[in-house]
Chains A and B, each alone.
Chain A
């Protein structure tokens, strides 16, 4: 017996929520980026599960685009992190925050 697609959608929600918590709670830049990747992975899982549920291949195509986005985000984001580390010698979000009201 096949597992129902709803199971995978629940799973994607769990992963997405963990990703969101991680972004909010963690204070290290690289780790925050990893949690954003986790959120995008959860989105992928949800697309695939719905594509399975609907019997359409379109959902898998959307995942391509999400993957491109994820790869680009990591490339630019890590470049930015390197830049900030060179200038500030820190990866802590709280220490980088210099503009305040």
Chain B
């Protein structure tokens, strides 16, 4: 392949996604109400095509930088892009019925989802901080709009607003940090900054550098909901449309971690000892707040919101360990988390019914044996989130905790295990309500209407949760191969 075509190949999936998003916007106005589903189908098709093009042009042994030092073309990019496209695929499948039921606009939804995927891709593949920042903003802006997608619903409005204001402030802080880093090193490319920093050891202690990096970490901490910056999470997840909450709980988190891994290990590897302490405190706080907060929740979406904070904390252990095992553990956990959390949100979006009426745990009383095709997958997802053996969540936690243990973070691992023991309580509570409590006598009962597509995607998620739990080695090897490109 010539170098010129190689340049475009490195960016091909994003070009495909963008082109199809534009196509949707051109086609959608001409569709009648009945035919609006067509735009969702186009978006699914676009994601599949992008996935195939990603598979066709793998770069398994070389790391290239294309577009004048803007984009990495390596296996890490390929793998993470595959992860993001999977997220997009499953979310669009769940959105199929949901959009119709809630009378939303499929055209806007699917094109915004595709744009959000482009933003996520850019965060994972970029080789320059300004590119990362643009990706982050495309992702966040699309997510703000998706969070407020139910225009008449006050909760949805509020959720979008909270996300927007906090996101705006955090991106301003991130930018300010980037400007300090630029002033300090005179460049924003990952390699350039790393070169400047590796030259003089005198730089490491410099407070200005520390400040710039700290502000960048604060900006990313907002996106992945790390502890001091997590306050927005439960409210935003509760108010947003359920499918969008599912997307928000995995999408920005995965993209944030993808970018954070690159930044921490490609730009600041020399300064890692400085950060480890801070990361440790943040991880402890995140895990405890997430799990303790989830215990008292009555609303299932809110409960999963708190639990997603806790899971961000577990993943931080991989960065603290800072070796191949820890980082491949993060990527594996992102995959596992994608299937279990999206699956759980998918089932919730089916159960809640029109207008999101049934979202408290009490509504789930006694539905266990009525709808086994949905409750059994939901139980699998919840058990996996709790980290019960034979599921993907267990393997992910095992790898992450093991990596941290090998780097002698005994206390941290103990706290993490304690936190996941706490989490067993509230996940099991939902299962107990479903299978062992008697159904409500008065009042409305959950009435399930679902499409074959939604059931199919729930079953796919459940299958992968079990598959990754039983045979994790293939994906683990792939992630190990990918993180080598981060150059540890």
**Contact A69–B137 (Cβ < 8 Å):** yes
**A72-97 vs B, Cβ < 8 Å mask (1 yes, 0 no):** 11001100110110011000000011
Q: A69-B137, A80-B161, A80-B164 are in contact. Are A43 and B182 (CB under 8 A)?
A: no
Which one of A32, A36, A76, A99 contacts B145 once the chains associate, using CB atoms below 8 Å?
A76
Residue B169 at the chain A interface, CB threshold 8 Å:
yes
A10 interface contact, C-beta 8 A: no
Q: Is the CB of B176 within 8 A of A65?
A: no
Within 8 A of A (CB), among B235-286: 235, 238-239
- Asked if residues A23 and B141 are in contact (CB atoms below 8 Å), the reply is no
Stretch at the interface among B151-159, B376-384, B401-409, B456-464: B151-159
By secondary structure, the A interface counts as helix
The smallest C-beta distance from A68 to any residue of chain B, in angstroms, reads 9
- The distance from the CB of A84 to the nearest CB of chain B, in whole angstroms, is 5
Decide: B175 and A40 in contact? CB cutoff 8 A: yes
Interface residue count on the A side (C-beta < 8 Å):
41
Q: A96-B158, A99-B239 are in contact. Are A46 and B168 (CB under 8 A)?
A: no
Chain A residues near B148 (CB-CB < 8 A): 80, 83
Q: Does B372 interact with chain A (Cβ within 8 Å)?
A: no
Chain A residues within 8 Å of B296, by CB: 101
- Tell me the complex Cα distance, A65–B137, Å: 10
B133 at the interface (CB under 8 A from A): yes
Contact A20 B183 (CB under 8 A): no
Is A9 interfacial (CB-CB < 8 Å)? yes
Report whether B172 and A43 are in contact in the complex, using a CB–CB cutoff of 8 Å.
yes
Task: Name the contact of A36 in the complex, choosing from B168, B179, B234, B235 (C-beta under 8 A).
Answer: B168
- A43 to B168, alpha carbons, bound, how many Å? 13
**A47 contacts B179, C-beta separation under 8 Å:** yes
Bound: A58/B160 CA distance, A: 34
B51 interface hit (Cβ, 8 Å): no
A98 contacts the other chain (CB 8 A): yes
Question: Roughly how many angstroms separate A62 CA and B175 CA in the complex, as a whole number?
Answer: 10
The residue from B133, B157, B180, B182 contacting A65, defined by CB atoms under 8 A apart? B133
Asked whether any CB of chain A lies closer than 8 Å to the CB of B27, the reply is: no
In the complex, are the beta carbons of B144 and A87 less than 8 A apart? no
- Which residues from chain B contact A43 at a C-beta distance below 8 Å? 172, 175-176, 179
Residue ID in chain B nearest A96 by CB atoms:
B158
Question: A87 CA to B157 CA in the complex, in Å?
Answer: 9
- Bound: A95/B14 CA distance, A: 41
- Expressed in whole angstroms, the Cα–Cα distance for A72 and B239 within the complex equals 23
Q: Tell which of B141, B154, B175, B180 touches A76, judged by Cβ atoms closer than 8 Å.
A: B141
* B165 at interface by CB-CB < 8 Å: yes
Q: Is A65 a contact partner of B134 (Cβ separation < 8 A)? A: yes
* A56 neighbours in B (Cβ, 8 Å): 186
B104 contacts partner chain A, Cβ-Cβ < 8 Å: no
**CA of A69 to CA of B168 in the docked complex: distance in angstroms?**
10
Other A-B contacts than A76-B144, A98-B155, 13 sampled, CB-CB below 8 A, are: A19-B172, A46-B176, A46-B180, A47-B179, A50-B183, A62-B130, A73-B141, A80-B144, A80-B157, A96-B157, A96-B161, A101-B234, A101-B296
